[in-house]
Structure 1
């Protein structure tokens, strides 16, 4: 009977310590903050803004030309034949179609370049987070923004040091919106 109690006590003690030894370390990180503060992401943002400005200028120029042509044709429509007016209306409609196509193409191009540019940036961030988690013995890293309680280890400072992240951008306030 005494051996049974001792054996039972040893089993409970061993299982209890085994549970503590198997406790899983959990960390968290604000992944978006990592991406936004990577030098490569900031450079990509500048490139995309320049491209967007170029497209915007081209779109605005085309829109002004269409509007000027429409105004001119409207002013001259009483002095032209119905065939010429119809031809001019078709010409304006074709230019409007090209204008709309340019807008769609510009948006799609910017979006595609952003996706293509973010892929290697995201992979680099993921690799750094994986390496830091492994070096700290962390088995699970959760997205910080989805946590209600944040008691795990915050990996941001370690990732910041590993990737050479830039300072956080100032948050927009009501004054500079």
Structure 2
């Protein structure tokens, strides 16, 4: 029974491969990651994101420093304060810590949203250029050849140089 399944799978693969060869589709490849990293717009977007991230990190670090200072102060004064006052201060510190955590999450969401906002038009521009070059050169399929992308043999036409030329980079 196992041999029959293996033969059936092999037959299906053979028929599919034969059909693909008979169709004589033209296939090209391009490393989209390499293309995007070469685009000046991407460098500008990455710099903007880095600046925004550094701003958020500085704000959060400032809040963390303030929390640590307040914690140290409250810890040093704990012996001279009443139990109720110390409990009130502990609740205050927990609230500040919670606010910092929420600020970190909000910053992360805003960074992701900004990244999507900045990168989407760049990605669309690259895709349009790839489609234009592939169409002009008569390719039916363009496969992303980035490392780890699943492309094992890249003997077809590499469109990277042509697409860079189309984009003026």
TM class, shorter-chain normalised? 0.7 to 0.9
Runs of 5+ unmatched residues, structure 1? 1-18, 166-177
Q: Secondary structure at the match of 2:139?
A: coil
Residues 38 and 164, structure 1, Cα contact 8 Å, conserved in 2: no
| Closer, same or farther: CA 61–20 of 1 in aligned 2, 3 Å | closer
Compute the displacement of 1:164 (Å): 2.5
Residue 58 of structure 1 corresponds to which residue in structure 2?
59
Residue 12 of structure 1 corresponds to which residue in structure 2?
none
CA RMSD of aligned residues (A): 1.7
Question: For the residues of structure 2 that align with 1:106 and 1:38, how far apart are their CA atoms?
Answer: 27
Q: Secondary structure at the match of 1:70?
A: helix
Compute the displacement of 1:23 (Å): 2.1
Residue 157 of structure 1 corresponds to which residue in structure 2?
161
Q: Secondary structure at the match of 1:149?
A: coil
Question: For the residues of structure 2 that align with 1:95 and 1:85, how far apart are their CA atoms?
Answer: 15
What TM-score comes out, normalization by structure 1 length?
0.79
Question: For the residues of structure 2 that align with 1:85 and 1:104, how far apart are their CA atoms?
Answer: 29
* Alignment length (residue pairs): 147
Larger radius of gyration: 1
Residues 25 and 140, structure 1, Cα contact 8 Å, conserved in 2: yes
Aligned counterparts, 1:55-134, within 5 A: 55-134=56-135
Segments of 4+ in structure 1 off by > 3 A?
19-22
Residue 8 of structure 2 corresponds to which residue in structure 1?
none
Question: For the residues of structure 1 that align with 2:22 and 2:89, how far apart are their CA atoms?
Answer: 81
Residue 28 of structure 1 corresponds to which residue in structure 2?
29
Runs of 5+ unmatched residues, structure 2? 1-19
